[in-house]
């Protein structure tokens, strides 16, 4: 489980062992190994792979998210859902549950379990978008697992006695007055059958579903439409859950309504929609100098405390015009979207979520699919088809590379060395751990910047990464002198960033012979491998894991030359 940046840090040990056919084997570190490897930074950023298939997510964990240091993935609701063929299979059919069977257009239960296991093996947790406020809101239909249902009757899951019938708005039971707390939490959200989450049976049934997911390895849950569920009902459901899953709750609180986000802090984190609105307003039509002006962006702007907040530039709702007014910056804004995400990942506030979308021309449009509504695969022959139909914003170089910046600077959760031209050029540091420059203007920014970084040459992570040997960069470099100063040019609508994890080494790379010994009994066809965070150990890619020798079976061995 991953917790908030000051507390949310899960340190990932470098040696993970696995056995083919999902047989897991623990690997005790040798003393020499422990000395040879440094503790990797905590993972402090998660991504929403909206409407991705489970088979694609598993490959994305192994080939990109694990090696890049992502903490977790928010996945679309995995349970059986409405099939809305007459509406051309829209995205919102996933938010109309029919049962709690793990069968959806993202895949089967077996594919889901395999995805969770493979992601966890490379250090990436799975957070499930849990739709527990309501069930499907049509009079009758068939779900993605073949279940036939009618409004208020979902065979094997709920019957008519398990719902609220508020009797308001001419008997439609729909919410019309968001200024009325009782109505918001007891009437229906656009005809969706509103579960009576105050009832023991409903609480128990929801907990059975969530515990089933926990048994498959799920580490956390986003509670959809939390504002429509009383905070004490969520608390009662949470008390029934096994272990300590990470919980974050969707509460759209822009002020002026009786239900506030603070009511839900006792259950877990909360989505801070004001963050998205204000960062979009500032980058789209404001001045970046405001971000550290009379009040610092964050609690100084009226947001909740950082440790309670899940933040994002955009999410699947507000990029479609839901969840607050105003212009929300999305992938459709191009370079502006890069800059807003760079700022979010560099600024010390909240637990950041990166959005990964698909292209859409109307607010209801579902994911890329065939004429029968079957979602198109992203991966083909091991290669992701990104940046056209599937936007894959998390793979945009400036955004993906800033994840490591966030991780590397997490222990200094404050800003330093703030600079601005008073308009739309800003720069700031994270103590001695990182420094970022953002130029929101059209002209080139030429300046010598005062940082707190140690002298040396660093990769500009907006343009590239540190090479595997640690002695060069795949893109531009930035030099910091002995006074902590860096002189550089940043063209219009661009940025530059450096951090301690991307500092070029001038020393020759040395290695230490490291022996892995593991006592493990296996059956014919099974082998023992080691995978870790350096190239010699596969860079967290299980496809490149190193096979241990069975010559001294049942003790498996391999000796590798590893960097110190």
pLDDT of residue 325: 64
pLDDT of residue 542: 78
Among 322, 422, 412, residue whose Cα is nearest residue 42: 412
Cβ-proximal residues to 200 (8 Å cutoff; 6+ apart), any chain = none
Cβ-proximal residues to 211 (8 Å cutoff; 6+ apart), any chain = 240, 241, 242
Fold of the 43-408 domain: TIM Barrel (3.20.20)
Parts of the chain with a pLDDT under 70? 1-38, 324-325, 507-510, 524, 564
60, 129, 174, 250: the catalytic one is: 250
Q: Is 408 helix (H, G, I), strand (E, B) or coil?
A: helix
Q: Can 224 be counted among the known catalytic residues?
A: yes
pLDDT of residue 176: 92
Give residue for tokens 């409903």: 202
Q: Tell me: domain 416-502, CATH 2.60.40.1180, correct?
A: yes
Q: Can 250 be counted among the known catalytic residues?
A: yes
pLDDT of residue 507: 67
Fold of the 1-40+507-564 domain: Immunoglobulin-like (2.60.40)
- pLDDT, one tens digit per residue, over 20-79 is 333 333 333 333 332 333 578 899 999 999 999 999 999 999 999 999 999 999 999 999
**Main-chain phi, psi angles of 312, to 5 degrees:** -160, 155
56, 183, 194, 224: the catalytic one is: 224
Give residue for tokens 């370079």: 335
Contact between 526 and 23 under an 8 Å Cβ cutoff? The reply is: yes
pLDDT of residue 18: 35
pLDDT of residue 4: 41
- Angle among Cα 301, 41, 16 to the nearest 5 degrees reads 135
Q: How far is CA 261 from CA 297, 314, 554, in A?
A: 18, 18, 55
The two tokens of residue 493 are 């609508």
> Which residues of the chain are in CATH 3.20.20.80 domains?
43-408
- pLDDT, one tens digit per residue, over 132-175 is 999 999 999 999 999 999 999 999 999 999 999 999 988 889 99
To the nearest 10 degrees (0 to 180), the angle between helices 397-408 and 335-346 is: 10
């Amino acid at each position: 489980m991953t917790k908030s940046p000051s507390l949310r840090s899960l340190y990932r040990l470098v040696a993970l062992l696995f056995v083919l056919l999902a047989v897991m084997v623990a690997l005790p570190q040798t003393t020499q190994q422990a000395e040879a490897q440094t503790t990797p930074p905590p993972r402090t950023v998660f991504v929403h792979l909206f409407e991705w298939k489970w088979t694609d997510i598993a490959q994305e964990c192994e080939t990109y998210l694990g090696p890049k240091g992502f903490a977790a993935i928010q996945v679309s609701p995995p349970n059986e859902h409405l099939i809305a063929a007459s509406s051309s299979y829209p995205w919102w059919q996933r938010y109309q549950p029919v049962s709690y069977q793990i069968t959806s257009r993202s895949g089967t239960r077996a594919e889901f379990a395999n995805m969770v296991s493979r992601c966890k093996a490379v250090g990436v947790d799975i957070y499930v978008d849990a739709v527990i406020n309501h069930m499907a809101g049509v009079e009758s239909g068939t779900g993605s697992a073949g279940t036939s249902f009618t409004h208020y009757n979902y065979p094997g899951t709920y019957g008519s006695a398990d719902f609220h019938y508020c009797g308001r708005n001419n008997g439609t039971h729909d919410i019309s007055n968001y200024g009325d707390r009782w109505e918001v939490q007891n009437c229906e959200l656009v005809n969706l059958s509103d579960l009576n989450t105050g009832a023991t049976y409903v609480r128990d049934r929801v907990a059975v579903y969530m515990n089933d997911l926990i048994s498959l390895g799920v580490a956390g849950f986003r509670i959809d439409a939390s504002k429509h569920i009383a905070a004490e009902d969520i608390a009662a459901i949470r008390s029934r859950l096994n272990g300590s899953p990470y919980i974050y709750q969707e509460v759209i609180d822009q002020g002026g309504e009786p239900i506030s986000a603070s009511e839900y802090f006792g259950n877990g984190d909360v989505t801070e929609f004001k963050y998205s609105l204000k960062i979009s307003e500032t980058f789209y039509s404001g001045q970046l100098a405001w971000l550290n002006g009379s009040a610092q962006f964050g609690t100084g702007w009226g947001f909740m405390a950082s440790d309670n907040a899940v933040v994002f530039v955009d999410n699947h709702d507000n990029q479609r015009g839901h969840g607050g007014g105003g212009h929300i910056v999305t992938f459709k804004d191009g370079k502006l979207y890069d800059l807003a995400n760079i700022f979010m990942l560099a600024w010390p506030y909240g637990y950041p979520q990166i959005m990964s979308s698909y292209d859409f021309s109307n607010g209801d449009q579902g994911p890329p699919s065939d004429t029968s509504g079957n979602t198109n695969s992203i991966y083909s022959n091991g290669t992701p088809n990104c940046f056209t139909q599937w936007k894959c914003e998390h793979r945009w170089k400036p955004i993906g590379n800033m994840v490591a910046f966030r991780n590397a600077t997490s222990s200094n959760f404050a800003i330093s060395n703030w600079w601005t031209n008073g308009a739309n050029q800003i720069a700031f540091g994270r103590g001695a751990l990182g420094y970022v420059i953002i130029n929101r203007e059209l002209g080139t920014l030429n300046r010598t910047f005062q940082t707190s970084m140690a002298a040396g040459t660093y990769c500009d992570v907006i343009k590239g990464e540190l090479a595997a040997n640690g002695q060069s960069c795949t893109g531009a470099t930035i030099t910091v002198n002995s006074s902590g100063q860096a002189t550089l040019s940043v063209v219009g609508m661009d940025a530059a960033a450096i951090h301690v994890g991307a500092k070029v080494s001038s020393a020759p790379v040395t290695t230490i012979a490291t022996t892995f010994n593991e006592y493990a009994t296996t059956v014919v066809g099974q082998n023992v491998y080691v995978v870790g965070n350096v190239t010699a150990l596969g860079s967290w890619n299980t496809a490149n894991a190193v096979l241990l020798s069975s010559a001294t079976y049942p003790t498996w061995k391999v000796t590798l030359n590893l960097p110190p």
